[in-house]
Amino acid sequence: MNSLVVALALVAPAVGLVAPAAPVRSAAPLKAATISLPTSVKPGVVTGEALMDLLAYAKEKGFAIPAVNAVSSCGINACLEAAAKFGGPMIVQFSRGGGQFIAGKSIIKKGTEDTASVAGCVAGALQVRQLAELYGVPVILHTDHCMRDWLPWFDGLLEENEKYYAANGEPLFSSHMLDLSEDTLEDNIGTCVEYLERMSKIDLLLEMELGITGGEEDGVDNSDVDSSKLYTQPEEVWEVYEALSKVPNGKFTVAAAFGNVHGV
């Protein structure tokens, strides 16, 4: 108990230990920077040039678009409701594990993990497509980190996008993340170029990663990684830009590492 009091004393004024704090004033709703989005950006899933317009607008106005890893239908609805309430676009994304969770644990057997995750991610994406316009919000549909061992998952997602594009003239998702940051820079860039060439044909944006983020996420533990790998170097970003920008109609972003966070 004494240690608890000491800990509290270190982070709070003494008055906070003997009297209730003053009520916190409710924050006034922020006037959304998104109130005048580009005309190409409509409620619903945003892809292709409209996606590029939205990202450019966010950069110009200096606001971030929140990204939430969804693992359930109610979680997806919560994202859409929050976006509608606060007047902004939203990134709804799925991880490999999250896709498996949506699909259901009972159907996952050894060797079927990627197939189950693709099915779960597609199910979540279709829910977003059915509802986003009704909520009146633009949504970027994205998938999170995919390392080299998980490329069958990535391939399955691209196949679903290609089928959707053939039927609807746009991809099912807005973008996908390919995280080959544990590879050599040469291998990372080479594989990303190969995938971007495929994705560019159906207006899919590629997010690639440089450097490793610290900590643990979705079962990937980088707690003990060499600290030098936690910070992406400017020359590496330039090398990626030079290679990927040569892909016709290629749309991409770079997730550079800054300790345990990304900067794009």
Closest CA to 97 of 115, 117, 112: 117
CA-wise closest residue to 142 among 243, 249, 54, 242: 54
**What is the C-alpha to C-alpha distance for residues 33 and 61, in angstroms, rounded to an integer?**
7
Residues acting as catalytic residues: 144
Which residues, in sequence order, are CB contacts of 235 under 8 Å at separation 6+?
Answer: none
Which conformational region is residue 155 in: left (phi greater than 0), alpha (psi within -120 to 50 degrees), or beta? alpha
Show the tokens assigned to 255: 């997730």
Residue type, 132: A
